[in-house]
Amino acid sequence: MGEIAEKLLKMKTQVEQAQSKQDRLEGQRDTLMAELSTKHDVKTIASAEKKLAALTTSIDQEQKTLEDGLAKLQTDYTWEGENESGRVQNQD
């Protein structure tokens, strides 16, 4: 009978540990969802993914605009310390 009691006690401990872990994970999820709601005005994971995709697209567009502008500046102007080919001149 002692062996069965030990197995039941071990199973009870495992269930309690699993419940504790589940409670922690649910708390973390709730905290993250609250942060998404307050900081990013989204209520669900699906809406967060949608917003992330839109923000990523916007960032990519802004980066392309900046890169295009920089390329235009580099072709339109010779910067101090560079020659016509865009190479830095020796300052010796």
The 10s digit of each residue's pLDDT in 12-70 is 999 999 999 999 999 999 999 999 999 999 999 999 999 999 999 999 999 999 999 99
pLDDT at 77: 84
Which structural domain, as residue segments, surrounds residue 29? 1-40
Distances (CA, A) of 39 to 6, 70, 74: 49, 33, 39
Looking at the structure of the chain, the number of domains it has is 2
Please tell me which residue, 65 or 83, carries the higher pLDDT value: 65
Are residues 5 and 23 part of one domain?
yes
pLDDT at 28: 97
Please indicate, yes or no, if residue 86 is contained in any of the structural domains: no
Q: Which helix (H) or strand (E) holds 37?
A: helix 2-40
Average pLDDT over residues 81-91: 59
Please tell me which residue, 81 or 22, carries the higher pLDDT value: 22
Return the sign of the alpha-carbon dihedral for residues 79, 82, 87, 91: negative
Please tell me which residue, 89 or 69, carries the higher pLDDT value: 69
The answer, yes or no, to whether residue 86 has pLDDT greater than 60, is no
Are residues 32 and 56 part of one domain?
no
In angstroms, how far is CA 23 from the centroid of its own chain?
24
Query: Where do we find the tokens 């920089």?
Result: 70
Distance (Å, whole) CA 20 – CA 13? 10
Please indicate, yes or no, if residue 79 is contained in any of the structural domains: no
Distance (Å, whole) CA 17 – CA 28? 17
Are residues 22 and 49 part of one domain?
no
Please indicate, yes or no, if residue 33 is contained in any of the structural domains: yes
